[in-house]
Amino acid sequence: MGVVRPARLERATFWFVAKRSIQLSYGRLTRSVYRIPSHFRNPTAMRLATVRRVPPKWDWSAMHTINLTEKFSLFQEQWRPKVVARLNGQEVKLIKVQGVFPWHTHGTEDEMFLVWRGEFRVEFRDRVVRLGPGEMVVVPAGVEHRTAADEEAEVLCFEPAGVRNTGDIEDAQFTAPQGVAL
């Protein structure tokens, strides 16, 4: 067969040659164990597989509309984050809040809060950040804080997956289960 230089061949041709060469070398037994990937057998699939960067595993939230008003209508619990999307190791969570949350710190994670409905406060030891709908704040890692709302507010939180909502403290009332998806 001479010297085959795969780099110069179309992939389909390369795999055809490879299959033939394996069959010639090892006989019929190879047919039952040797499989050419479907995207090499199907020219259209092969082109797509070559052009698109297909993630190894898609998240359920990818590539469709996520309506936040609708999502907020699906639960009533307060201080119990609900995950509506995951990306790059981060989670987008929806939280209904009312009252005052305990003081706490997240050792290594920054935390972002965006208000969707109502009035919401993020309190630090030296200041209070007041937020209304469409406003957001980032709480830096290691900075002690607590959140509060006089009337019920709806808030979006963005932070790495696996972050405990009460950070470095455990609270019987406020520490919530992690990774609860809507």
Three-class secondary structure of residue 21 per DSSP = helix
Give the shortest CB-109-to-Ni ion separation in angstroms.
9
Give the shortest CB-87-to-Ni ion separation in angstroms.
20
Site string for Ni ion, 88-117 (x = CB under 5 A): -----------------------x------
- In the complex with Ni ion, the residue whose CB is nearer, 91 or 111, is 111
* Residues 166, 40: Cα–Cα separation, whole Å: 50
- In the complex with Ni ion, the residue whose CB is nearer, 118 or 167, is 167
Give the shortest CB-115-to-Ni ion separation in angstroms.
15
- In the complex with Ni ion, the residue whose CB is nearer, 111 or 154, is 111
- The residue of the chain with the least Cβ separation from Ni ion equals 111
- In the complex with Ni ion, the residue whose CB is nearer, 46 or 97, is 97
What angle, 0 to 180 degrees and rounded to 10, lies between the N-to-C axes of helices 43-51 and 11-26?
Answer: 120
Interactions with Ni ion, residue window 29-88 (CB under 5 A): none
- Determine contact, residues 144/105, Cβ cutoff 8 Å: yes
**How many residues belong to the site for Ni ion (CB under 5 A)?**
1
Give the shortest CB-17-to-Ni ion separation in angstroms.
59
For 137-141, the CB contacts below 8 A with 24+ separation are 137/112, 137/113, 138/110, 138/111, 138/112, 139/106, 139/110, 139/111, 139/112, 139/113, 140/110, 141/106, 141/107, 141/108, 141/109, 141/110
Give the shortest CB-113-to-Ni ion separation in angstroms.
9
Report CA 111 to chain centroid distance, whole Å: 15
Residues that bind Ni ion (CB under 5 A): 111
